[in-house]
């Protein structure tokens, strides 16, 4: 057991720190979503120029072939620096690795570099109005004809679709097959009339997510990923990649939010109250548990090739803690935390999505119960 | 970065697990508890194996290992809920080794390791194995001190698998202070035992809810039950992450020990109670009976929580630590 970084890991971290120190993303644009997005895209380009956009990618595809620990360090340092998450996060974390696993040489050649440089943004077309947690029941149809595939259906919760060139689309290619078997994974061009993007307005007032209305969109044969009828397996690769490095970024952001709350509360002498101190102590504990458990998970993957039982818990723990933290802020800081435009008002509302996006807490508990604890399938 | 036990530590865990599984099944724990006595044959075997001196240097007859190895043993002790004075003896020896003077080491260590001297640990009101102990390590929030054969009276707690005492009038300033880190090591060690209690409670519950059928199906297929089990795992793993962190910090990064120990203590105090109580609930009516063994775990978890000094003081310490971090960053 050694909870310190090795010399090479420290060197990697220091190199990153000095890079972040010399590359200021500039002030975060407020009140204009498009400007905010452009800010994130521009900063990803800066990262990509110096080879930092996807440290976990193999060197041959423009990454650094980083170890899992180095990748975790990257996300920790990104979080610490206050720089924004890469605009093409879904391309870097999901589409890229999935294409590396399943893509033809031509597909790798075509798609990977523009992901890295944020020239082509990606979105994820998995969820549908009637296929959320039960993803395999999705209904979007892909019909084969002489010119390739004709797509009809609807997708929802599509983050960043309004900025995306490509969509990781899972559609049903065989209506007769069993529900997991008739699916195919496509790389769909978003720039066509038959794909309409409609922003969903969230409880925060902003629009990170969209609905996709797909009415006769075309996808050529060479944009099938991993073979016709193999979509479920390919989609699982994407889903497995979903939470890996992100846990470290989220964990650091939670710590920063907690630090910010402490600063504001201390300035107003609000932490002397024993009840407030008790809740603060609990939040500090949970933030530390998240960090420690994330590192345990990392070691498990590095040593045994798969996460231990703790690996399934981090997203659930993070969402719960972030929600408790923002509610604590509202209690501690008083009505001022709820006024329009307050950072805390935004965080309080945004946190409600944490236990839904990327797998609801209820589904995560089912997964823990069935796959980690070996309990019978839930009823 | 390697947040995992080493091969040797796994080996120690395996040996301890096997031995306690064969020597101290719940039938033995029950027998000892009902006789209001420790399991003496088991204790003699544990002493012969050198467990009380696991974290004591070879110079004093110990095994020369560290706090992580001690934590591994205590976790297995908690898992078995074994009726022995290992926790008090091994932890007292460990803190005398690391925080005591040469004179204290010479005075106590060899005898404790050989099972010839006895030790108690705790606070004035609740001392584990304190009655008639040759030496008591008294925790006083963040400090600890040594008292030689203090006057005490036995106390019956809800946990009959262990012996407790109350000190008769050990005032502030009595005894000899131990060096920094002693209290943290004790909190961390108790937390490690709680991790084992939680693990056992979780496993017993899983076995039960997979087996027990109602409405024609195993009750573990109901989400109300399975989600409770998932929550038990979350508590258990939170306690484990922090207990290992505290054990590692004790030897490798003593500056972080106080905070790490507060993390471990707070996580364990909460996890022990929640997980063991959940085990009783998930066992249904049978869980409330003397025959079902989950109550031993709950009782020990509650008393360990009291030995940790409750959860409030650790939350308060953590709040101070969190605020201090922010203040340090701000002045840097």
Predicted complex ipTM = 0.96
pLDDT of B129 > 80? The answer is yes
Name the pLDDT band for B327 (thresholds 50, 70, 90).
Answer: confident
A310 is catalytic: no
Q: What is the pLDDT of residue B278?
A: 98
pLDDT of B113 > 60? The answer is yes
d(CA A197, CA A213): 7
- Strand-strand pairing, B164-167 and B126-128: antiparallel
d(CA A271, CA A27): 30
* pLDDT tens-digit map of A266-292: 999 999 999 999 999 999 999 999 999
Q: What is the pLDDT of residue A237?
A: 84
- DSSP string for residues in A244-257: TTHHHHHHHHHHHH
* pLDDT tens-digit map of B231-268: 999 999 999 999 999 999 999 999 999 999 999 999 99
- DSSP string for residues in B142-176: TEEEEEES--EEEE--S-TTS-EEEESS--TT-SE
Assess if residue A304 is contained within a domain.
Answer: yes
Q: How many domains does chain B have?
A: 2
Residue numbers of the domain that contains A21:
7-87
Where do the H-state alpha helices sit in chain B? 7-23, 26-34, 40-48, 67-80, 86-99, 102-113, 182-211, 223-252, 257-282, 294-307, 312-331
Q: What is the pLDDT of residue B171?
A: 60
Residue A217's nearest CA partner among A160, A171, A156 is A171
Closest by Cβ to A271, choosing from B241, B317, B319: B319
Q: What is the pLDDT of residue A79?
A: 85
Residue ending a domain, choose from A234, A260, A286: A234
CATH code assigned at B288: 1.20.140.10
Average pLDDT over residues B207-219: 97
* A184 and A222 together in one domain: yes
Name the pLDDT band for B106 (thresholds 50, 70, 90).
Answer: very high
d(CA A60, CA A65): 9
Assess if residue A110 is contained within a domain.
Answer: no
Percent share of chain A, pLDDT over 90: 81
B68/A1 touch (CB, cutoff 8 Å), yes or no: yes
Closest by Cβ to B1, choosing from A9, A283, A317: A9
Residue numbers of the domain that contains B190:
182-331
Q: What is the pLDDT of residue B12?
A: 98
Closest by Cβ to B237, choosing from A6, A262, A313: A313
A292 and B241 Cβ atoms separated by less than 8 Å: yes
* A206 and A269 together in one domain: no
Assess if residue A379 is contained within a domain.
Answer: no
* A229 and A255 together in one domain: no
Assess if residue A111 is contained within a domain.
Answer: no
* pLDDT tens-digit map of A69-125: 899 999 989 988 889 999 999 999 999 999 999 999 999 999 999 999 999 999 999
d(CA A118, CA A40): 10
Q: How many domains does chain A have?
A: 3
Average pLDDT over residues B14-34: 98
* B170 and B319 together in one domain: no
* pLDDT tens-digit map of A170-211: 999 999 999 899 999 999 999 999 999 999 999 999 888 999
pTM, rounded to two decimals: 0.94
* A141 and A45 together in one domain: no
* B78 and B203 together in one domain: no
Where do the H-state alpha helices sit in A50-167? 68-81, 89-90, 96-102, 105-116
* A80 and A56 together in one domain: yes
Residue ending a domain, choose from B154, B177, B200: B177
The DSSP code for A162 is G
Assess if residue B2 is contained within a domain.
Answer: no
Q: Which residues are registered as beta bridge partners of A211?
A: A156, A198
Name the pLDDT band for A134 (thresholds 50, 70, 90).
Answer: confident
Q: What is the pLDDT of residue B189?
A: 98
Average pLDDT over residues A298-307: 84
Residue ending a domain, choose from B177, B197, B229: B177
Residue in A9, A242, A310, A357 annotated catalytic? A242
Name the pLDDT band for B332 (thresholds 50, 70, 90).
Answer: very low
Give the B window 138-177 contacts with A, CB below 8 Å.
none
Average pLDDT over residues A332-350: 93
* B234 and B118 together in one domain: no
Assess if residue A126 is contained within a domain.
Answer: yes
Residue ending a domain, choose from A234, A257, A273: A234
Distance (Å) from the C-alpha of residue A185 to the closest C-alpha of chain B?
A: 32
């Amino acid at each position: 057991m050694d909870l310190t970084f090795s010399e090479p890991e420290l060197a990697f971290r220091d190199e990153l720190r000095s890079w972040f120190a010399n590359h200021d993303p500039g002030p975060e644009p407020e009140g204009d979503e498009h400007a905010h997005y452009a800010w994130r895209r521009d900063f990803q380009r800066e990262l990509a120029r110096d080879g930092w956009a996807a440290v976990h990618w193999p060197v041959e595809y423009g990454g650094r072939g980083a170890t899992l620990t180095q990748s975790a360090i990257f996300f920790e340092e990104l979080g610490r620096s206050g720089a924004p998450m890469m605009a093409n996060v879904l391309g870097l974390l999901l589409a890229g690795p999935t294409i590396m696993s399943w893509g033809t040489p031509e597909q790798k050649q075509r798609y990977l570099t523009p992901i890295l440089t944020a020239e082509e943004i990606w979105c994820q077309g998995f969820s549908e109005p009637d296929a959320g947690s039960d993803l395999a029941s999705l209904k979007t149809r892909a019909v084969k004809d002489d010119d390739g595939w004709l797509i009809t259906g609807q997708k929802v919760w599509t983050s960043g679709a309004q900025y995306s060139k490509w969509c990781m689309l899972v559609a049903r290619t065989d209506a007769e097959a069993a529900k997991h078997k008739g699916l195919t994974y496509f790389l769909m061009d978003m720039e066509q009339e038959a794909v309409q993007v409609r922003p969903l307005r969230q409880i925060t007032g902003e629009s990170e997510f969209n609905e996709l209305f797909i009415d006769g969109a075309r996808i050529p044969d060479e944009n099938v990923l991993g073979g016709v009828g193999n979509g479920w397996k390919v989609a699982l690769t994407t889903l497995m990649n979903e939470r890996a490095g992100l846990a470290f970024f989220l964990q650091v952001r939670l710590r920063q939010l907690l630090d910010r709350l402490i600063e504001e509360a201390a300035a107003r002498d609000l932490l002397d109250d024993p009840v407030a101190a008790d809740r603060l102590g609990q939040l500090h504990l949970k933030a530390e548990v998240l960090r420690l458990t994330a590192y345990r998970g990392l070691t498990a993957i590095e040593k045994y090739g798969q996460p231990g039982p703790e690996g399934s818990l981090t997203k659930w723990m993070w969402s719960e803690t972030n929600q408790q933290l923002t509610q604590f802020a509202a209690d501690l800081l008083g009505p001022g935390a709820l006024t329009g435009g307050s950072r805390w008002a935004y965080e309080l509302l945004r946190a409600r999505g944490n236990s839904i996006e990327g797998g609801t807490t209820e589904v995560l508990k089912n997964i823990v119960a069935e796959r980690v604890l070996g309990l019978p399938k839930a009823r | 970065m390697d947040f995992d036990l080493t091969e040797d530590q796994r080996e120690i865990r395996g040996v301890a697990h096997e031995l306690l599984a064969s020597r101290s099944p719940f039938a033995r724990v029950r027998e000892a508890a009902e006789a209001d006595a420790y399991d003496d044959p088991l204790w003699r075997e544990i002493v012969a194996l050198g467990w009380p001196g696991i974290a004591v240097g070879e110079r004093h007859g110990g095994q020369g290992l560290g706090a992580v190895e001690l934590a591994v043993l205590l976790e297995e002790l908690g898992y078995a809920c074994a009726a022995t004075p290992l926790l008090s003896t091994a932890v007292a020896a460990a803190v005398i080794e690391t925080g005591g003077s040469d004179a204290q080491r010479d005075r106590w260590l060899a005898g404790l390791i050989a099972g010839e001297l006895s030790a108690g640990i705790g606070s004035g009101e609740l001392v584990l194995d304190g009655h008639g102990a040759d030496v008591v390590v008294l925790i006083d929030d963040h400090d600890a001190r040594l008292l030689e054969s203090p006057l005490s009276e036995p106390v019956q707690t809800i946990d009959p698998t262990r012996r407790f005492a109350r000190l008769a009038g050990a005032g502030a300033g009595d005894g000899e202070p131990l060096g920094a880190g002693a209290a943290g090591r004790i909190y961390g060690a108790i937390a490690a035992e709680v991790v084992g209690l939680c693990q056992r409670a979780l496993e017993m519950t899983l076995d039960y809810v997979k087996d027990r059928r109602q409405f024609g199906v195993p009750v573990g297929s109901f989400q109300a039950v399975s989600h409770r089990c998932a929550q038990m795992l979350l508590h258990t793993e939170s306690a484990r992450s922090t207990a290992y962190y505290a054990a590692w910090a004790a030897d490798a990064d003593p500056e972080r020990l106080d905070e790490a120990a507060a993390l471990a203590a707070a996580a364990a105090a909460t996890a022990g109670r929640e997980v063991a109580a959940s085990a009783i609930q998930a066992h249904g009516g049978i869980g409330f009976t003397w025959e079902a063994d989950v109550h031993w775990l709950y009782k020990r978890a509650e008393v360990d929580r009291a030995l940790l000094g409750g959860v409030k003081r650790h939350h308060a310490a953590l709040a101070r630590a969190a605020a201090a971090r922010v203040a340090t960053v701000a002045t840097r």
